[in-house]
């Protein structure tokens, strides 16, 4: 049976020792977010996720969501609604939202920590409240005053939930192809007609009303992405004064039968003249939707991290308990009939790879969330702009790498169990199945890669990369005389120099052949992710050395960093070789050469 224990020691290390959260929160004006309160939030979040959510993970997978085609209703797995009610009662839905809308006004960084615990405990359940946060941000940024008054408080309180309705049966990423229509009707309302697919939490029984944010095109819309508008379309009609009326003309037409996350309702949503309101300016909907999408992308990265953590915990426990064979260098536990699996080099390789990617990835994620706080709260305009640039650049790296690594980590965790990992009883195969979606929704890894190398690098002349490299160099200079860090500083600096050169070379080739960006994109993103983690592992060793943590904790950070630099960072060599090969080997084969049509 799979278990979960919130990694509070490592979370606190990341928050306090590495990122200096106490001082950061005080500087940004989060007066209530002191050490005592933050620790209390962490402890209570751990209790809730360990005792309420984690036990529901298996039933969510086995029972799943149930769809009634007669009524179009969706019933969540047993216990999900009761857990959601407790989540709402605890005020968790409004943890990081603005007090004027009923939230607690806590830092986004603290919300990121909560999200990891929720996703480790029960990823499918965590999908239900996740998109409400993005809906709130979109309405805060682009909604009219009355829309904020009417929709934000119930969304923040958790009495309503939100969705993001983009994808249609004939188009996924290319949203310019959407066919959903919005026709003006009386009183500033619009009739929304069309079908959306893959809508997370589009229909469920957790709350009475669901607020759909829907992309559609007005009658006078220009073609393509420039003609997209955003509309708020509630399940039950809502008047401008907040009065809730009759059922709207929006209905769940089906739920998807998925490889994993069975406890999460992934819906086909049919809008048949449903009443809605325009959010923001006409034909500017994509801009508004990206507010939701960027929030969701960071959140999906945390989903990958959360799954990795839970799978690793169970693999580590099994490797310590399972007796099988003897150490290659002789018995380590001669009083037992065999040694535990953890003495075997290949099992240690899998465990250390998971540990290195998880703990380094956790800092990558926490850093991104801390930048959201700086971008919103810093008093200096230049500091806010730098934080916005850096988190925008880090978002595709965080989303794609943490989810790609989740696939690797959950499969390695399963592998540690041998044949027992493949059967249902241990729960490991569920994590492998659940992890697979994280590289797909909210933009596939390929989309994140193009975003990083195209919009976030080529289009900005590498603005985010330059900021990050400057941060790394400042850290390296600060510790130039530190003998304990020398083994990490030198290779980190060399890798950053290579990264800058690699970027210049790709952009130069792309100037004459645009295919070069697409050909390099995925390798470039993964290369970037591994170098980013090298920085965080160097930072981890420095922070551990300077902390009051027990010596075994410090030793574990140093030894894991050494493993990362020796056995994981060299993956960049293969990615660099692939990038240097250029677009030629990818594009030379004609379409007919792939096989018979």
| Higher-confidence position of 44 and 286 | 44
- In this prediction the pTM is 0.97
pLDDT at 173 over 90: no
CATH architecture entry for 8-142:
Orthogonal Bundle (1.10)
For position 269, what pLDDT does the model report? 98
- pLDDT band with cut points at 50, 70 and 90 for residue 171: confident
* Average pLDDT for 185-198: 96
In the chain, domain spans: 8-142, 158-287, 444-586
Q: Which two tokens stand for residue 112?
A: 């990121």
Whole-Å CA distances, 93 to 127, 129, 136, 347, 499: 12, 7, 11, 39, 40
* Average pLDDT for 483-508: 98
For position 144, what pLDDT does the model report? 96
* Helix or strand (DSSP H, E) at 578: helix 571-580
For position 522, what pLDDT does the model report? 98
Query: Do the Cβ atoms of 541 and 488 come closer than 8 Å?
Result: yes
For position 417, what pLDDT does the model report? 97
Dihedral (CA of 55, 59, 64, 69) sign:
negative
In three-state secondary structure terms, 526 is helix
* Helix or strand (DSSP H, E) at 299: helix 285-321
How far apart, in whole angstroms, are the C-alpha atoms of residue 59 and residue 64? 7
Please say if 442 is a catalytic residue: yes
- pLDDT band with cut points at 50, 70 and 90 for residue 291: confident
Query: Do the Cβ atoms of 506 and 524 come closer than 8 Å?
Result: yes
* Average pLDDT for 219-230: 92
Q: Which two tokens stand for residue 234?
A: 């509630």
pLDDT at 504 over 90: yes
How far apart, in whole angstroms, are the C-alpha atoms of residue 311 and residue 317? 10
Q: Which of 168, 275, 442, 516 is catalytic?
A: 442
- pLDDT band with cut points at 50, 70 and 90 for residue 293: confident
For position 176, what pLDDT does the model report? 80
How far apart, in whole angstroms, are the C-alpha atoms of residue 454 and residue 452? 6
For position 401, what pLDDT does the model report? 98
How far apart, in whole angstroms, are the C-alpha atoms of residue 447 and residue 452? 9
For position 384, what pLDDT does the model report? 97
Q: Which two tokens stand for residue 89?
A: 């009662």
| Higher-confidence position of 447 and 295 | 447
* Average pLDDT for 56-80: 98
Whole-Å CA distances, 106 to 28, 96, 336: 11, 4, 51
How far apart, in whole angstroms, are the C-alpha atoms of residue 509 and residue 583? 9
pLDDT at 158 over 80: yes
Tell me the angle at which helices 428-438 and 381-416 cross, rounded to the nearest 10 degrees: 140
How far apart, in whole angstroms, are the C-alpha atoms of residue 577 and residue 584? 13
pLDDT at 373 over 80: yes
CATH 2.40.110.20 fits 158-287, yes or no: yes
In sequence order, which residues have a C-beta less than 8 Å from that of residue 189 and are 6 or more positions away? 275, 276, 277
For position 75, what pLDDT does the model report? 98
Report pLDDT digits (tens) over 113-144.
Answer: 999 999 999 999 999 999 898 899 999 999 99
- The alpha carbon of 431 is separated from its chain's Cα centroid by a whole number of angstroms, namely 16
β-strand 160-165 against 181-184: which pairing, if any? unpaired
Q: Which of 348, 322, 350, 349 is nearest to 412 (CA)?
A: 350
pLDDT at 172 over 80: no
The mean predicted confidence, pLDDT, of the chain is 96
* Average pLDDT for 203-229: 95
- Record: fold of 444-586: 1.20.120
* Average pLDDT for 176-188: 93
């Amino acid at each position: 049976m799979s278990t979960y224990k919130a990694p509070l020691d490592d979370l606190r290390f990341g928050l306090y020792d590495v990122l200096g959260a106490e001082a950061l929160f005080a500087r940004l004006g989060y007066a209530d977010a002191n050490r005592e309160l933050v620790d209390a939030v962490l402890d209570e979040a751990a209790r809730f996720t360990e005792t309420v959510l984690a036990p529901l993970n298996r039933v969510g997978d086995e029972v799943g969501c149930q769809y009634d085609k007669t009524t179009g209703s969706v019933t969540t797995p047993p216990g999900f609604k009761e857990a959601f009610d407790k989540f709402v009662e605890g005020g968790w839905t409004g943890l990081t939202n603005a007090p004027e809308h009923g939230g607690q006004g806590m830092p986004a960084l603290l919300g990121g920590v909560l999200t990891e615990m929720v996703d480790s405990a029960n990823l499918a359940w965590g999908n239900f409240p996740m998109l409400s946060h993005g809906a709130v941000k979109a309405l805060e940024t682009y909604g009219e005053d009355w829309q904020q008054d009417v929709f934000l408080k119930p969304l923040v309180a958790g009495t309503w939930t939100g969705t993001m309705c983009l994808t249609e049966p004939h188009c996924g990423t290319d949203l310019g192809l959407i066919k959903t229509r919005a026709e003006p009707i009386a009183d500033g309302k619009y009739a929304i007609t069309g079908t959306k697919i893959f809508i997370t939490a589009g229909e469920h029984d957790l709350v009475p009303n669901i607020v759909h944010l829907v992309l559609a095109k007005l009658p006078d819309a220009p073609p393509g992405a420039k003609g997209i508008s955003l509309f708020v379309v509630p399940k039950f009609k809502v008047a401008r004064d907040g009065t809730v009326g009759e059922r709207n003309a929006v209905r769940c037409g089906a739920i998807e039968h998925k490889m994993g996350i069975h406890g999460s309702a992934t819906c086909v949503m049919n809008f048949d003249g449903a009443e809605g309101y325009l959010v923001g300016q006409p034909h500017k909907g994509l801009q508004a939707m990206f507010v939701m999408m960027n929030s969701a992308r960071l959140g999906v990265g945390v989903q990958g991290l959360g799954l990795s953590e839970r799978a690793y915990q169970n693999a580590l426990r099994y490797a310590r308990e399972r007796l099988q064979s003897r150490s290659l260098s002789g018995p380590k536990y001669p009083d037992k009939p065999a040694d535990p699996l953890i003495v075997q080099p290949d099992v240690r390789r899998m465990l250390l790879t998971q540990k290195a990617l998880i703990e380094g990835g956790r800092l990558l994620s926490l850093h991104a969330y801390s930048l959201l706080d700086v971008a919103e709260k810093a008093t200096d305009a230049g500091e806010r702009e730098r934080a916005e640039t850096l988190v925008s650049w880090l978002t595709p790296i965080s989303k794609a790498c943490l989810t790609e690594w989740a696939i690797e980590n959950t499969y390695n965790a399963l592998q540690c169990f041998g044949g027992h990992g493949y059967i249902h009883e241990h729960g490991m195969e569920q994590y492998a199945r659940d992890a697979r979606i994280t590289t797909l929704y909210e933009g596939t890894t390929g989309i994140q890669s193009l975003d990083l190398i195209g919009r976030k690098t080529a289009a900005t002349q590498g603005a985010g990369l330059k900021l990050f490299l400057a941060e790394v160099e400042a850290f390296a200079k600060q510790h130039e005389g530190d003998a304990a860090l020398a083994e990490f500083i030198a290779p980190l600096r060399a890798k950053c120099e290579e990264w800058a050169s690699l970027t210049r070379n790709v952009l130069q080739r792309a100037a004459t052949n645009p295919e070069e960006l697409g050909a390099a994109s995925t390798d470039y993103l993964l290369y970037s992710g591994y170098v980013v983690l090298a920085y965080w592992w160097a930072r981890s060793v420095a922070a551990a050395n300077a902390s009051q943590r027990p010596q075994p904790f410090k030793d574990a950070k140093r030894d894991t960093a050494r493993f990362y630099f020796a056995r994981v960072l060299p993956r960049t060599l293969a990615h660099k070789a692939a990038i240097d090969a250029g677009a030629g080997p990818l594009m030379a084969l004609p379409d007919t050469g792939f096989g018979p049509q």
